[in-house]
Amino acid sequence: MTNYHTHTYYCDGSSKPAEYAREAVAAGFTELGFSGHAPVPFSNGFAIPKEKLSAYCEEVLEVRRSFGQSLKIWLGLEVDYIPGITSSFDSFRQQGCLDYLIGSVHLVKPAHDDRLWFIDGPEKQTYDDGLAQLFDGDIRKAVTAYYQQLGEMVTTQRPDIVGHADKIKMHNAGRYFREDEPWYVALTQQMLEQVKEAGSILEVNSRGLYKGRSNDFFPGMTLLKRAREMDIAITLSSDAHRPEELTLGLSQARQLIESLGFREKNVHPFIKGYR
Ligand SMILES: [Zn+2]
Ligand SMILES: [Zn+2]
């Protein structure tokens, strides 16, 4: 088992990198990836502060040395993409020490507006308020802005892994739109085509399930079925913010994707996945 999406105490996770590595060995992992939230140029409570980025890298590399052959450790970042605001993915690649980047959208920027819609986190109210204030309550306009931003990230930044691609559905929870509505299907289909074209790996993220915020993975079964038909590579992750979350939901994810016909093989020089 592997997991390439983990957050340590350098960002919004609970613990030191070594504690995740110990837990990973105990769980029988062969590989572990660290993906702290990359620094962003505004005050926030989730990302690695810019001045701590090199310490994060050094500490993960130190853990890699100390675990040696017993656990393959990869050093990465989960990078936010907000057009005109966040740094390019290449500026992080130029750090030199990073093995991979997960690209994610947590904050949606409407066109012609500098305010941001926070679509993640524990509170439905934040989602509802942003929808009302930034998109005049027009869910189709809001969801379209999310997928436009995600698609732009995939095509212009080419992340190794696309993080929780349909997270926009989490706080919808069946309230504003159904996932089988033609306009929504068209948006997700376009997103999958962009992922395929970029050659990125699509993450299957279990965090919503074990946090009780979603009754489905990100992305859910319908999208994964289409990803299989399109021969898009996937990787399973729990988006762990604590060592004890490293394995949560991964065996259910494995069952689901195997039932859809995915098979394990190396799909990336560093990242083991399914295709
Ligand atoms: Zn994320
Ligand atoms: Zn994350």
Chunked into runs of 10 residues, the chain (275 residues) has average pLDDT values of 96 98 97 97 96 98 96 97 97 93 98 94 95 98 98 98 98 96 98 97 97 96 97 96 98 96 77 82
Q: Which-ligand-closest: CA of 104?
A: 1
Write down the pLDDT at residue 273: 83
Write down the pLDDT at residue 91: 97
| Cα 137 to averaged position of ligand 2 atoms, centre (Å) | 27
Write down the pLDDT at residue 184: 98
Tell me, which fold does domain 17-274 have in CATH?
TIM Barrel (3.20.20)
Q: Which-ligand-closest: CA of 239?
A: 2
Q: Which-ligand-closest: CA of 36?
A: 2
Q: Which residues surround ligand 2, an ion (CB under 5 A)?
A: 78, 239
| Cα 153 to averaged position of ligand 2 atoms, centre (Å) | 16
- Report CA Rg, the chain: 18
Write down the pLDDT at residue 74: 96
Residue ranges of the domains in the chain?
Answer: 17-274
Write down the pLDDT at residue 192: 98
Q: Which-ligand-closest: CA of 237?
A: 2
Give 228's Cβ-side CA count (13 Å radius): 16
| Cα 106 to averaged position of ligand 1 atoms, centre (Å) | 6
Write down the pLDDT at residue 96: 82
| Cα 106 to averaged position of ligand 2 atoms, centre (Å) | 9
